[in-house]
């Protein structure tokens, strides 16, 4: 990342719900890490409020211009998000894209899965396909 | 084929997460959520707004064309569209959504393109315009056109020809109430305002940060505006305190989700003797109360797990029940057999209990708690007992044959006496035990009393 990149940011908010959106999940723990690497550095440790929302956080992103020309290798930055809550399956979102000046909302549906349940790993492909 | 009928915007769309013939899950999502996901997956949110809008109109029209022509369903598939960019358009299940795209989708999800003189949504093919070119719209080309000052419809005409038009405000299937056609705001008065107030108050039971509207009287005052703003904040809408199209339909969708969960109450579990049910082995072609039980449990799970389709509870084990069961087996790590044996019943009941117990305590205020799946008897404690006592206590006011009972959450002798009296008065076998049949009868009686107040 060059010096110019450091000044560019986008925003992220994680929204945690259950029952296909009929219920917010309060008090879920949300960990945002650098994308790509196996164990990226932890950037934020957040908690959802009674509305199921985390605060809006800023994340660095490459300059907007990168996404305005075809085939640029880094139109956006990538982050991983892990959402945990006791009694629910853990959900991992990998490769979540963040663009400069854009707010991303990451919806997370937790399933109160009980004993013997398992979590879910969801991955966003490396670049939007642009078919 | 549907040709000749005026297209409607479907309430939901079923997406196959792979190529048509490939084994992959289907997910059913609200149409507007589908639009947000496709736009976030296909293009960049940094593009000029008119380019984004033109692309989204093409994406919406493409999807509606698939639905309208029953492209996949007429070929025997159980979905409307695939997530394959080769066949259809990208849909990345569970991905993040860009806020600007989301707000545009809320505004235009019922707008589509058609050829002048036809009713069918345009089969709006598109490609990226660099590595893949086609006769339709070029995604990167829209950026250049928008920068030259083209409006969304002009961009679309550039690619699809001049004889196209936009259909705005198409009617939306399955939604409780259609948008009245004008925005509700501070000072508005009438039935639409009252309906909005009642819905917001109901949603607030699940989303307690939405302030309650003390007097839902059809007058749009300060309280209503505060509730609307908080709803808009939680659901990523523009926070203007005004109920325009986007907010109206978002309220309808959330209200429907909230209602669906609470309406499963008395539908399903009915046999009093759960132990017998646990032994039944079921497969396609079976009928009867055990099948109803299975369908109820699957439908309850479907409220929490998108990959498991909800079912009509009709007691007939047909292909839909089998499909829903197989999805359940896949999600919960069981062998996918499409048959129900003791292990499947066990997993279904455990899944049901876990989901049931995750519902907040005050969730069923004003509605009744569904049957918990296991009979209650002397010595039982907890939330279900307390709820049942509240129902019986209200019933006791109307039916003197039923003695009053304290709502202390403990199934003691006094509660048992009330249960026995209730069973005698309502023609149920007098056992003092509250299984599905007794629970549902008590809940129905309670609801009918509440509704008549």
Interface test with A, best of B91, B96, B102, B142 (most A CBs within 10 A): B96
SS3 readout for chain A: CCHHHHCCEEEEEEEEEEHHHCEECCCCEEEEEECCCCCCCEEEEEECCCCCECCCEEEECCCHHHHHCCCCCCCCEEEEEEEECCCCCCEEEEEEEECCCCEEEEEEECCCCCCCCCCEEEECCCCCCCC
Tens-digit pLDDT profile for residues B250-287: 999 899 888 877 665 544 444 343 444 455 789 999 98
B39, pLDDT greater than 60 = yes
Chain A residues closer than 8 Å to B297 by CB = none
A96, pLDDT greater than 90 = yes
CA distance B350 to B258: 23
Tens-digit pLDDT profile for residues B396-443: 999 999 999 998 999 999 999 999 999 999 988 898 988 878 888 898
Residue B358 pLDDT class (50, 70, 90 cuts): confident
Beta-carbon neighbour count of residue A69 at 10 Å? 11
User: Could you tell me which of B89, B47, B101, B96 has the C-alpha nearest to residue A35?
Assistant: B96
Tens-digit pLDDT profile for residues B192-233: 999 999 999 989 988 999 999 998 999 999 999 999 999 999
Of chain B, the percentage scoring pLDDT greater than 90 comes to 56
Contact status, residue B432 vs residue B419, Cβ threshold 8 Å: yes
Contact status, residue B271 vs residue B279, Cβ threshold 8 Å: no
Which residue among A102, A114, A118 sits closest to B353, beta carbon to beta carbon? A114
| Average pLDDT of the residues in B53-64 | 97
What is the per-residue burial (b if ≥16 Cβ within 10 Å, else e) of B89-102? bbbbbbbbbbbbbb
B353, pLDDT greater than 90 = no
Q: Which residue has the higher pLDDT, B393 or B375?
A: B393
What's the length of chain B? 453
- pLDDT of B350: 80
Residue B18 pLDDT class (50, 70, 90 cuts): very high
Query: Any chain B CB within 8 A of the CB of A129?
Result: yes
Tens-digit pLDDT profile for residues A58-76: 999 999 999 999 989 899 9
CB–CB of A120 and B140 under 8 A? Answer: no
Q: Which residue has the higher pLDDT, B388 or A117?
A: B388
Q: Which of residues 6-45 of A touch B (CB under 8 A)?
A: 12, 15, 18-24
Q: Locate A5 and state its tokens.
A: 């990149």
CA distance B287 to B111: 43
The sign of the torsion formed by the CA atoms of B122, B123, B128, B131 equals negative
Query: Any chain B CB within 8 A of the CB of A48?
Result: no
B367, pLDDT greater than 70 = no
Tens-digit pLDDT profile for residues B84-95: 988 999 999 989
SS3 readout for B143-206: HHHHHCCCCHHHHHHHHHCCCEEEECCCCECCCCCCCCCCCECCCCECHHHHHHHHHHHHHHHH
Q: Is B25 helix (H, G, I), strand (E, B) or coil?
A: coil
Q: Locate B330 and state its tokens.
A: 């896949």
Q: Locate B72 and state its tokens.
A: 């996949």
CA distance B323 to B92: 22
| Average pLDDT of the residues in B49-70 | 96
CA distance B304 to B79: 20
Contact status, residue B194 vs residue B217, Cβ threshold 8 Å: yes
Residue B360 pLDDT class (50, 70, 90 cuts): low
- pLDDT of B334: 87
- pLDDT of B69: 92
Chain B residues closer than 8 Å to A49 by CB = 209
Sorted by sequence, the CB contacts under 8 Å of residue B221 that are 6+ apart come out as B186
Residue A119 pLDDT class (50, 70, 90 cuts): low
- Supply the mean pLDDT for chain B: 88
Q: Is B114 helix (H, G, I), strand (E, B) or coil?
A: strand
B315, pLDDT greater than 90 = no
B188, pLDDT greater than 80 = yes
Give the DSSP letter of residue B7: P
Q: Locate B60 and state its tokens.
A: 């919406």
Contact status, residue B440 vs residue B371, Cβ threshold 8 Å: yes
| Average pLDDT of the residues in B342-350 | 84
**Residue B399 CA to chain centroid, in angstroms?**
37
Query: Any chain A CB within 8 A of the CB of B93?
Result: yes
A80, pLDDT greater than 70 = yes
Q: What is the pTM of this model?
A: 0.80
Residue B351 pLDDT class (50, 70, 90 cuts): confident
Output the CA–CA distances (angstroms, integers) from residue B204 to B87, B445, B450, in the order listed. Answer: 41, 26, 20
CA distance B109 to B112: 8
What is the per-residue burial (b if ≥16 Cβ within 10 Å, else e) of B290-324? bbbbbbbbbbbbbbbbbbbbbbebebbbeebbbbb
User: Could you tell me which of B54, B71, B158 has the C-alpha nearest to residue B113?
Assistant: B54
Q: Which residue has the higher pLDDT, B242 or B353?
A: B242
Query: Any chain B CB within 8 A of the CB of A57?
Result: no
What are the start-end ranges of the E strands in B68-125? 81-82, 97-98, 112-115
Chain B residues closer than 8 Å to A103 by CB = 98-100
Phi, psi dihedral angles at A95 (to 5 degrees):
70, 35
- pLDDT of B23: 86
* Lowest mean per-residue pLDDT among A62-66, B187-191, B275-279, B368-372: B275-279
Q: Which residue of B has its CA nearest to A121?
A: B94
Phi, psi dihedral angles at B425 (to 5 degrees):
-70, -30
- pLDDT of A2: 38
Output the CA–CA distances (angstroms, integers) from residue B297 to A40, B155, B195, B356, in the order listed. Answer: 40, 49, 31, 11
Which residue among B97, B351, B355 sits closest to A105, beta carbon to beta carbon? B97
Residue A21 pLDDT class (50, 70, 90 cuts): confident
* Lowest mean per-residue pLDDT among B57-61, B158-162, B444-448: B444-448
CA dihedral angle for residue B17, residue B20, residue B24, residue B29, rounded to 10 degrees: 40
């Amino acid at each position: 990342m060059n010096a110019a990149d450091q000044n560019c940011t986008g925003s992220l908010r994680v929204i945690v719900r259950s029952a296909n959106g009929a219920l917010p999940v309060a008090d879920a723990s949300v960990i945002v890490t650098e994308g790509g690497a196996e164990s990226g550095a932890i950037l934020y440790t957040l908690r959802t409020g009674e509305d199921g929302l985390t605060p809006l956080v800023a994340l660095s992103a490459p300059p907007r211009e990168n996404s305005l020309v075809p085939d640029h290798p880094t139109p956006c930055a990538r982050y991983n998000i892990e959402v945990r809550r006791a009694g629910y399956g853990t959900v991992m979102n990998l490769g979540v894209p963040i663009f400069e000046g854009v707010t991303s909302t990451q919806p997370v549906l937790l399933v109160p899965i009980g004993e013997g349940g398992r979590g879910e790993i969801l991955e966003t492909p490396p670049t939007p396909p642009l078919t | 084929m549907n040709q000749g009928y005026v297209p409607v915007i479907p309430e939901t769309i079923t997406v196959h997460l792979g190529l048509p013939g490939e084994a992959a899950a289907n997910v059913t999502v609200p149409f507007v959520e589908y639009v947000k996901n496709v736009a976030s997956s296909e293009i960049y949110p940094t593009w000029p707004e008119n380019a984004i809008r033109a692309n989204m109109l093409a994406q919406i029209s493409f999807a509606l064309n698939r639905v309208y022509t029953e492209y996949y369903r007429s070929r025997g598939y159980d979905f409307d569209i695939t997530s394959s960019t080769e066949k259809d358009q990208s849909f990345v299940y569970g991905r993040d959504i860009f806020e600007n795209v989301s707000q545009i989708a809320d505004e235009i999800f019922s707008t589509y393109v058609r050829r002048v003189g036809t009713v069918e949504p345009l089969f709006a093919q598109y490609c990226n315009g660099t590595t893949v070119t086609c006769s339709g719209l070029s995604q990167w080309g829209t950026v250049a056109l928008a920068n030259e000052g083209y409006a969304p419809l002009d961009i679309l005409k550039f690619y699809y020809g001049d004889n196209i038009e936009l259909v705005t405000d198409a009617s939306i299937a399955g939604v409780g109430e259609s948008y009245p056609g004008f925005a509700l705001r501070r000072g508005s008065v009438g039935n639409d305002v009252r309906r909005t107030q009642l819905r917001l108050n109901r949603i607030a039971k699940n989303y307690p940060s939405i302030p309650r509207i003390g007097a839902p009287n059809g007058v749009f005052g300060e309280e209503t505006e505060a509730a609307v703003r908080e709803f808009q904040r939680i659901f990523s809408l523009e926070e203007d305190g005004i109920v325009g199209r986007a907010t109206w339909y978002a309220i309808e969708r959330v209200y429907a989700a909230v209602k669906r969960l609470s309406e499963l109450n008395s539908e399903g579990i009915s046999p009093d003797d759960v132990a017998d049910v646990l032994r039944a082995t079921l497969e396609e072609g079976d009928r009867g109360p055990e099948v109803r039980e299975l369908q109820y449990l699957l439908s309850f799970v479907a409220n929490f797990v998108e990959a498991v389709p909800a079912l009509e509870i009709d007691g007939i084990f047909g292909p839909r029940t089998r499909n829903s069961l197989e999805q359940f087996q896949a999600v919960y790590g069981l062998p996918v057999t499409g048959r129900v044996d003791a292990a499947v019943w066990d997993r279904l009941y455990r899944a049901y209990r876990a989901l049931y117990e995750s519902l907040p305590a005050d969730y069923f205020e004003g509605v009744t708690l569904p049957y918990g799946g296991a009979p209650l008897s002397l010595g039982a404690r907890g939330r279900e007992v307390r709820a049942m006592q509240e129902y019986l206590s209200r019933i006791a006011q109307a039916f003197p044959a039923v003695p009053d009972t304290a709502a202390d959450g403990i199934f003691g002798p006094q509660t048992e006496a009330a249960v026995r009296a209730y069973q005698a008065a309502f023609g149920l076998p007098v056992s003092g035990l509250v299984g599905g049949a007794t629970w549902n009868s008590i809940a129905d009686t309670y609801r009918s009393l509440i509704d008549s107040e």
